[in-house]
Structure 1
Amino acid sequence: MPEQEHVRKQFGEVEENELRLEREKSEQIIDALNKDLADAYVLYHQLKKHHWNVEGAEFRDLHLFLGEAAGNVEEAADMIAERAQALGGTPISGPTAQEEHAGVEYEGQDVYDIRTSLENDLEIYGDVIESLRDHIELAENLGDHATAQILREIIVETEDDAHHIEHYLEDDTLVTEGAMD
């Protein structure tokens, strides 16, 4: 990788922004957004893994849902990153930085049955939702109503996808008990 002659902005440095939000407030919000961004990418990669590996009687519906859910998370991540940049920050990027900043944990490389996979996804969704709620409140308390609104839009989609996973985990299924043993 070529060595940079001049770094335009170091990660963690927060510049003045045209949104007229004080730097100290921007720093707090950018830190929160970078955590949300890291969490989003952990969830995204886990959903994609399950999208690729799902099998069984409900394969088609789950495959399509998991692909759509991953797309929703990717779109949310883009919105979060662009907001962090607009506030004068640098969005985290790269798997190492994302893993370091994430408040959620990736389930790993192993492939599990789809029920376990969905339960693991739902656990991350729950943590992401709690974090988003906290960050909406933080943004509101700091007077950054636009960030709060962006996060509200994201949480609506996130909660909806989590609710769909709850439905997939219900007892009613096409697969009989004997086939699941």
Structure 2
Amino acid sequence: MSTQKSVRRQFGSVESSPALRLEQKKVEQLVDALNTDLAATYVLYHQLKKHHWNVEGAEFRDIHVFLGEAAGRAEEFADELAERAQALGGVPMAGGKNYEEHAPVSPEGDDVYDIRTSLEHDMEMYGDIIETLREHVELADSLGDPTTAHMLRENLIHVEEDAHHIEHYLEDDSLVQG
């Protein structure tokens, strides 16, 4: 157990890195945006895991595997967001309560829904996250941080691909007779 008694860096504080040569006000905006994306990504991650655990029905296996993989991609993206916020001089957000309070998306709740409803909820969340990520790519570009913009763009590709896969699962065509 740690014997350290003092806080080294307080959440919400930003100490811009001299090596990155970005102005303090710009770094503060970037860290805030990254923490917003981090919160949204973790809310998405937990919802995807919930659906991964609870999916049932004729298409169980494919959807179960997809949701597990999508959750894994969300978790990896969350790690990248937190590490970039820290590299810029910020303190990455931590904790489920903080994520839900600061995320621009809301989880569906604790009840288990049919998989179509669950995927519709995921689709809505993905759409909101895609819009926010696009705004933050533009913000990073406008603030002169091509590295953050590139990282967000690269991950936006995966987020959009996962959303597109959910669109396919929600199509009304199926080999299963109703």
- What TM-score do you get using the length of structure 2 for normalisation? 0.96
The residue that corresponds to 2:95 in the other structure is 94
The residue that corresponds to 1:44 in the other structure is 45
The residue that corresponds to 2:14 in the other structure is 14
Q: Distance in 2 between matches of 1:12 and 1:4?
A: 20
Q: Distance in 1 between matches of 2:139 and 2:23?
A: 14
The residue that corresponds to 2:144 in the other structure is 143
Q: Distance in 2 between matches of 1:85 and 1:2?
A: 21
- Check whether the contact 1:57–1:174 (CA below 8 A) recurs between aligned residues: no
Q: Distance in 2 between matches of 1:110 and 1:176?
A: 27
The residue that corresponds to 2:65 in the other structure is 64
The residue that corresponds to 1:121 in the other structure is 122
Amino acid of the structure 1 residue aligned with 2:113: Y
Amino acid of the structure 2 residue aligned with 1:12: G
Q: Distance in 1 between matches of 2:161 and 2:75?
A: 15
The residue that corresponds to 2:169 in the other structure is 168
- Check whether the contact 1:33–1:84 (CA below 8 A) recurs between aligned residues: yes
Shift of 1:2: 8.4
Q: Distance in 1 between matches of 2:135 and 2:101?
A: 20
- Check whether the contact 1:16–1:23 (CA below 8 A) recurs between aligned residues: yes
How many residue pairs match? The answer is: 177
Amino acid of the structure 1 residue aligned with 2:83: E
Q: Distance in 2 between matches of 1:78 and 1:98?
A: 14
- Check whether the contact 2:16–2:90 (CA below 8 A) recurs between aligned residues: no
- 3-state SS, counterpart of residue 175 of structure 1: coil
Q: Distance in 2 between matches of 1:127 and 1:71?
A: 19
Distance 1:2 1:110, change over 3 A: farther
Give per-residue Cα distances to partners, 1:67-117, cap 9 Å, x unaligned: 000001001111111000000001100011111110000001000000000
Shift of 1:4: 5.7
Shift of 1:19: 1.2
- 3-state SS, counterpart of residue 164 of structure 1: helix
Shift of 1:21: 1.1
Identity %, equivalent residues: 68
Q: Structure 2 regions of 5+ residues with no counterpart?
A: none
- What TM-score do you get using the length of structure 1 for normalisation? 0.95
Q: Distance in 2 between matches of 1:174 and 1:55?
A: 16
Q: Structure 1 regions of 5+ residues with no counterpart?
A: none
